[in-house]
Structure 1
């Protein structure tokens, strides 16, 4: 039985610990990987993962979100899992077969080289990425934060070990990045199945047409929005592949790893927050509680953003010289995890009202911004142009999602978010080629920290209750 009396912050901490340690391990390993793998090969490996994510997003048919949406309402959660995962597994096997059948032209088109092994691994990755998505959701929806954290840490350890050993002793080409990704998928899924094996025992189940219709009705509109979200998340890499080269893509991917210091907050918070927010809504919790969470998160993320932008120059002491140019791409990339995380607290009205089609409109607005931005900036500025376009697009995404949600349900106030967005945008702009930025930061940062701490305590003791 799920413990519903945990302290809010304690519950959040259990989900945060794993992603935090995982990000720390990844950050500590950056210097070694930049010395072992060239930007070109790292760019190819990163593009492989981008392709896996794209195909997985399409074939999952939005059923992962349907599983989350109907979890608390379902009387038979095992049956819900079976009906949610059945179709995506079939599609992953079918598409994987097609990738192997047409491996040569696809390999040349995607990676500029003929490699059957890479295409075989791509097909295998599709299946295990789908399975891992649902096995992770089972743990998330049961709110097993400690278990989630353990798997997150183990996943990062496996990925790092395989990447290091393969690059050091087998090959320092893109295959090292690919193998580390594929093996980590398999290992973590296998471990999660062992822990939650009762949930995955489908011996006497057959697909339920009625339930599949219900979850598809909710999930199918999310295919379009999910595809548009993929454009929003990955158009930068596609643009760099089309209008630049793999070296620039490798530098850009390294900047993403640095920005991953903020992604840890996104992963840990959203993993905990999504099931909690749905439960709060089901229990008819006071809307003011949603607002307090959003305000505290806004202040915390603003502080973290400013600190990383302020200190990003120090990263050159930890990476190989061939990756120095990636540091300039970090500032605007931070908006990607930051604005998405904030939108999870301000955009709940769309999900609660079950108007998932509005997610399509939000994603369309933001992805269109990203396409235009990359088309204009990438040919001229390369990775820096891609980072600016991506950052601005996620700001657009946040405000589109927030405004539409607020028209449906007044869950949060947005005055603080307006101020925070302006402050972060100014800091990001100042960090590009402004010699006075560091001096300005030394004066502004302490003041922002002091004011923010006062506001956090004021908000915290003003209304956020401890029990969730």
Structure 2
């Protein structure tokens, strides 16, 4: 992937993440914690639907794109099965409309349920269209689809501060759904020729079987990974309240600076590594990238820990606890990003059947820790539980990849990762007045990491000469 294309992806993701970051304090000042929690629950449900009904075929599309000639038929073969199943599911869901709506949004109002069903379809198409654009390497189109919808939603949220009549939850949920629809409309506009060719393409049922063979294990893994990512919010809603969900979601949102880098990296990493494998490129580059990601991630964790005391200055007083749990929240996306490289051998070796086992183990650990910690620590317990479970996920995925593909040095990763994780647990569960000791602790980690990875920076010149 050319550097210009990479920068296009990065700029779109960066600006989109910045807009999302700016939306957080606006939501906090304009809406109640409960309303924020309900929107988060809708987002969680939509993400689960997209994971399940994609059948893993979005990842099959990425895996096979560079190795097939009829890409239009590949797109249609991947998109159609899940869509048909989603239609059937939504028709059946109408029968259980009231209990599902009550579970999802805390109300049995059919209006909210209709918006939720509409959002299911919108985000299903968004998942596939985003992959189609990425594989075409249309960086500008990708950037526009990331920026425009979030700019629209931010504009709406800010306007509610001046026009209080826009603050009811029914308007908020409609604007959220419309912002998602706007993204899909823009994507479809860019993809109109691709989609037209896909609609006209002839597909054979025999072509679907190998795609499902690769993709279905990823569905199981995706659902388990969804649970690993969002079970803390669900259990907060059960053991605490929607207000606690809103608090935790805002903390996770402020950790979006880490999510930004994870999204940028994930956008380009899998297509790149699969192309390297197909082209026979030297895979020693993987070790260089892995070391660079580890250095970046651990230093970022330390910096966030040092400056977390600034967060309460931009939020209402009821969100003060975010200062303590944000480091635990930032652990998850950064550890996952590291695992994308350290565990890539599982996908390269086409051994994705092992991924659900790894994710399920981490999920069960997360559930157990949440049951133990949430009643006592609330959102802090949820943040710490997810951080620990993600650390186990990184460990298991890395070790399996080493055994299936190629060996990567791991001692520094495990040492610095353990120290960062332990520090985030201490900081998260403290939940007391600001202490100088935490700043000193994170400064020590930053110095240790820079020393441990001191040879990595010169190696980055190799990446600049052609890794990307």
TM range (shorter): over 0.9
Match of 1:65 in 2: 59
User: What's the offset of the Cα at 1:55?
Assistant: 2.1
Match of 2:411 in 1: 415
Q: CA–CA distance in 2 between the matches of 1:442 and 1:89?
A: 47
Are residue 455 (structure 1) and residue 451 (structure 2) matched?
no
User: What's the offset of the Cα at 1:91?
Assistant: 1.9
Q: CA–CA distance in 1 between the matches of 2:40 and 2:100?
A: 17
Match of 1:335 in 2: 331
Match of 1:282 in 2: 278
Change (3 A) 1:460 1:155: same
**Aligned residue-pair number:** 462
Q: CA–CA distance in 2 between the matches of 1:230 and 1:28?
A: 25
Q: CA–CA distance in 2 between the matches of 1:440 and 1:128?
A: 46
Match of 1:188 in 2: 183
For residue 373 of structure 1, the aligned residue among 369, 372, 377 is: 369
Q: CA–CA distance in 2 between the matches of 1:355 and 1:93?
A: 31
| RMSD across aligned positions (CA) | 2.2
Contact 2:11–2:143 under 8 Å retained in 1: yes
Match of 1:55 in 2: 49
Contact 1:58–1:226 under 8 Å retained in 2: yes
Are residue 221 (structure 1) and residue 205 (structure 2) matched?
no
User: What's the offset of the Cα at 1:176?
Assistant: 4.3
Q: CA–CA distance in 1 between the matches of 2:124 and 2:394?
A: 27
Q: CA–CA distance in 2 between the matches of 1:278 and 1:380?
A: 45
Are residue 234 (structure 1) and residue 230 (structure 2) matched?
yes
Contact 2:35–2:169 under 8 Å retained in 1: yes
For residue 261 of structure 1, the aligned residue among 253, 257, 262 is: 257
User: What's the offset of the Cα at 1:327?
Assistant: 3.0
The TM-score normalised by the length of structure 2 is: 0.93
Moved more, 95-104 or 391-400: 95-104
The TM-score normalised by the length of structure 1 is: 0.93
Match of 1:385 in 2: 381
Match of 2:27 in 1: 33
Moved more, 414-423 or 184-193: 414-423
User: What's the offset of the Cα at 1:314?
Assistant: 0.3
Contact 2:232–2:386 under 8 Å retained in 1: yes
Q: Secondary structure at the match of 1:72?
A: helix
- Indicate the structure with greater helix content: 2
Change (3 A) 1:270 1:358: same
User: What's the offset of the Cα at 1:165?
Assistant: 4.0
Change (3 A) 1:177 1:324: farther
User: What's the offset of the Cα at 1:451?
Assistant: 3.5
Q: Which runs of 5+ in 1 are unaligned?
A: none
User: What's the offset of the Cα at 1:290?
Assistant: 0.7
Q: Secondary structure at the match of 1:268?
A: helix
Contact 2:305–2:438 under 8 Å retained in 1: no
Q: Secondary structure at the match of 1:431?
A: helix
Runs (4 or more) in structure 1 with deviation over 6 Å come to: none
